Amino acid sequence: MIRFEDIYETVKRHHAGADLELLRKAYIFSAVEHKGQTRASGEPYLVHPLEVAAILAELRMDPACVAVGLLHDVLEDTLTDETKIKEHFGPDVLHIVEGVTKISKIPFSSSEERQAENFRKLLLAMVDDVRVIIVKLADRLHNMRTLQYLPEERRQRIARETMDIYAPLAGRLGMSRIKNELEDLSFQYLEPEAYQELMQRVEERRTSAIEFIEKIKGTVQEKLKGAGLEASLEGRIKRVYSIHQKLRRQRIELDQVYDFVALRIVVPTIPDCYAALGVLHNLWRPVPGRIKDFIAMPRPNGYRSLHTSVISDEGHPFEVQIRTREMHRIAEEGIAAHWKYKEGRSGPDKDTRRRSTASRRGAR
């Protein structure tokens, strides 16, 4: 079970100088209110708000938002009322808790694509603080991680709702790390046979893929260093649901997936991104039509990066993503990466306000 002190230390590390007494108060309040309650797994209910708060802390959300992670179910699942929350934690925390509670009570029953899109638009339109959505996504992520303890009918309903509503919503807000995990977890329950079959095929290739990644990482690191470029490199195997989508959409076999293996290069500056791209294209032959400049032309959710695919000396194609450290954080965390906490007040920076407004406009 995750410890409150671990959450406290994470928030303290990301928000030095902030008053964190709010967090301790929220933890004690949640523990008292949820006392005696258990989850379907048999664990104390308090495990859930702690896990949600931990996800928010890792996203570097402000102390008020992490406190809401600890409190997000007290209005719905305990005898606590709004007056008590406002009295103990103030109007800001109450406002977010009420928003999360309101979202949880909206019924969603249709998997029809247009209805799902309308529902996502409704969620974006009804909140005036994006932290409400971020807390709800963290809540849904932990629920999906523990979905195996629920009856089959509920597993199917929650997984479908997650795939249709919450994963795309995370994508719209640029929160790819949460979106990706929600998709993979949903796929596991919605199409268990397809999931198991594909996982087996991926596992059969995993060892050779990891060996290949390590080899190209060493080669690229050496060439970048020779060019005077400071860089950190990370390899990955494509996510199982993303592979599933590509196989189905393009009607291809697994060995035809260009980005089954990918390399990520993180450098200090934008000029370094383009310099690294030049090093790669001098090293290996690029695949025609696979170069994408999302730095010059960012995606609507704020994602920026250079993408290319190259052919290795052995004839294996693989994808490379090149970005700065700031771009990488935005790619992983999306709108949460822009949330600032300064001078005792939390709030979005200008980019966050612009992106949040754009999301709502896109939802109309």
Residue 244, Cβ neighbours under 10 Å: how many?
20
* pLDDT of res. 111: 58
Domain with CATH 3.30.460.10 in the chain: 193-333
Phi–psi pair at 324, nearest 5 degrees = -85, 170
pLDDT tens for each residue of 207-250: 999 999 999 999 999 999 999 999 999 999 999 999 999 999 99
Q: CA-to-CA distance for 362 and 123, rounded, in angstroms?
A: 13
Query: What confidence category does residue 362 fall into, taking pLDDT thresholds of 50, 70 and 90?
Result: very low
Please work out, in degrees rounded to the nearest 5, the angle formed at the alpha carbon of residue 153 by the alpha carbons of 111 and 123.
40
CA atoms within 13 A on the CB side of 18: 24
Please state which CATH number belongs to domain 4-190. 1.10.3210.10
User: Alpha carbon of 13 to those of 9, 93, 177: distances in Å?
Assistant: 6, 21, 21
Cα–chain center distance at 68: 18
pLDDT tens for each residue of 51-96: 999 999 999 999 999 999 999 999 999 999 999 999 999 999 999 9
Task: Write the CB contacts of 128 (distance below 8 Å, at least 6 apart in sequence).
Answer: none
Task: Write the CB contacts of 146 (distance below 8 Å, at least 6 apart in sequence).
Answer: 39, 40, 41
User: What residues are annotated to the active site?
Assistant: 76-77
Indicate whether this model's pTM tops 0.95.
Answer: no
Q: CA-to-CA distance for 66 and 72, rounded, in angstroms?
A: 10
Residue 349 has pLDDT above 80, yes or no: no
> What DSSP character marks residue 349?
-
* pLDDT of res. 155: 96
Average pLDDT score, the chain: 90
* pLDDT of res. 109: 64
Residue 273 has pLDDT above 90, yes or no: yes
Task: Output the DSSP codes for 81-104.
Answer: -HHHHHHHHHHHHHHHHHHHHHHH
Query: What confidence category does residue 339 fall into, taking pLDDT thresholds of 50, 70 and 90?
Result: low
Domain with CATH 1.10.3210.10 in the chain: 4-190
Query: What confidence category does residue 124 fall into, taking pLDDT thresholds of 50, 70 and 90?
Result: confident
State how beta strands 317-324 and 261-267 pair.
parallel
Residue 363 has pLDDT above 70, yes or no: no
- The fold adopted by the segment(s) 193-333 is Beta Polymerase; domain 2 (3.30.460)
**Residue among 176, 79, 107, 131 nearest 348 (CA):** 131
Look-up of token digits 């928010």: 56
pLDDT tens for each residue of 127-151: 889 999 999 999 999 999 999 999 9
